[in-house]
Amino acid sequence: MLSAETLTWVNQKLTALQNDRTDPDQAVRFRDFITKTPAESLRPVNTDQFRSVMGLSRYAAVTLLLKSVRQGLMEISWSTCCPACSGVTHQTSDLKEVQETSFCPGCNAGFDLSVDENLKVAFSAAEPLLDGLASEGEIHIHSQAEGITGADLLTNAYFRQFFSDQVVPEDRGLKIKNITLLFTDLKGSTELYEKIGDLNAYRIVREHFDSVTAVIESHNGALVKTIGDSVMASFSSSEDGLKAAIDIQKLFREETAKHRLVLKMGLHAGPALVVNLNGTTDYFGSTVNIAARVQNLSKGGDVFISKVIFDDPRSLKYLRQMPVIFRYKTRLKGIREDYLVYQLNDRK
C-alpha cells in the first residue's frame, strides 16, 4: 500500500493531469493503474497491457503517457534495438543522443537505426512512485522496451507541441522507413485579402489552419508545419492519412465555396529522413518532394494520392466510398519516369 505522502504526491500530479485536458474518468483509471500495478510492471509499463486496461487506441495511449511524463508521473527512454535479436544496444532519455548506427555485441554486427522499426520507446514510473511501491516487492528493470516506436511519438501532436526539446541534433538525421505525408494548399487567399482586408482574411485563414489541424489530430496525425497558406502533416499509417484527407475535403467544401477559396490536397508515403529544422522535427527526402508535387496536381475540392497510398490494402474501404476516382499518368518534377496518381472526388 502506498504511504500517505506518496498518495498525496500522486493526487497532486493527477490534478495537474486533469488540468492538461485529460478526461476525469480517464484520470481516475490511470490513477488506479499506477497505484495498483506492481512496481516491477511499471519499469517500464507494458504498453499493450496499459492500452487494454485503459481501453485506449494506440495513439490515445501514447498521448496519455506523454501527459503523465510532462506532469512528472512517468519518465521516458529511447532504446536502440538490434533488428536481428531485438537486444537493446543503447538507451537514453534524450532523443539527441540517439545515433544513426549501432553495434550489437550478441550478433557481432552493426546496423542502421530505423525510427519506426528498431527505435523503441519505454515509459516508466517516476522514482517517487516507485519508492512508494518498492516495499511490495523487488523492482526488476526491463531492458527491452515494448510496443511503442519512435514514429509513434514523432507523429503524435502532443509530443510535437510539448516535447520540443526532444529533437535530433541539427547535424544528423534519423531514417524512417515509412511515413505518410499530407500536404494541403489554400488557393484564393490573396484575392480574399484584397476583398475583405488583411485582418478579416487572416482570421479566416487561421480558422482554416485550426480546423485542418483538428481533423489531422483526430486521425492520429500531427501538424509538421505551415508554409504560407499550406499545411504539412505526418501520420504513422497511410490509412490515417487518407481518412484525414477525405474528412478535410468534406469539411471544407462549403467553407471554401463561401469565401471562394480552393483547398488542394496531396498524400504520399515512403521513407524519409527525420531532421531538426529550426529547432523542430521535420522530414527530408524524395518522399517529401513527391508528396508536395502530388498536392500540386490537385484541382481543389479533391484529393490526389500516390499509387503507394492507393495500393495499401487498408485504403480500400475508404476508396470504396469515393463515387469518382480518376487515374493519371503524369510527370513530376525531378522524377524521370511517368508517375501514377489518383484523383479522389466524393461528388460525381
d(CA 82, CA 78): 13
pLDDT of residue 43: 87
Q: Which among 156, 145, 116 has a CA at the least distance from the CA of 281? A: 156
Mean pLDDT (whole number) for 102-122? 96
For residue range 238-276, what is the model confidence (pLDDT) as tens digits? 999 999 999 998 888 766 666 678 899 999 999 999 999
Please list, in sequence order, all residues whose beta carbon lies within 8 angstroms of the beta carbon of residue 258, skipping any fewer than 6 positions away: none
The grid coordinates listed for 43 are: 519499469
Alpha helices by DSSP H, listed for the chain, are 4-19, 24-36, 47-54, 58-70, 127-133, 150-154, 157-162, 189-196, 198-218, 238-258, 286-296, 307-311, 316-319
For residue range 119-138, what is the model confidence (pLDDT) as tens digits? 999 999 998 888 777 544 44
200: pLDDT strictly greater than 60: yes
Q: Which among 272, 115, 119 has a CA at the least distance from the CA of 181? A: 272
Length of the chain: 348
CATH architecture type of domain 171-345: 2-Layer Sandwich (3.30)
- Judge contact between 85 and 107, C-beta under 8 A: yes
More confident residue, 2 or 227: 227
Q: Which among 216, 54, 229, 77 has a CA at the least distance from the CA of 143? A: 77
* pTM greater than 0.75: yes
Q: How far is CA 197 from CA 145, 228, 230, in A?
A: 53, 17, 20
- CA 86 from chain center: how many Å? 23
Instruction: Let me know if 233 is exposed, middle or buried by CB neighbors in 10 A (0-12, 13-18, 19+).
Output: buried
310: pLDDT strictly greater than 90: yes
Domain boundaries, the chain: 4-154, 171-345
Q: What is the overall mean pLDDT for the chain?
A: 90
Mean pLDDT (whole number) for 27-52? 90
Q: 61: left (phi > 0), else alpha (psi -120 to 50), else beta?
A: alpha
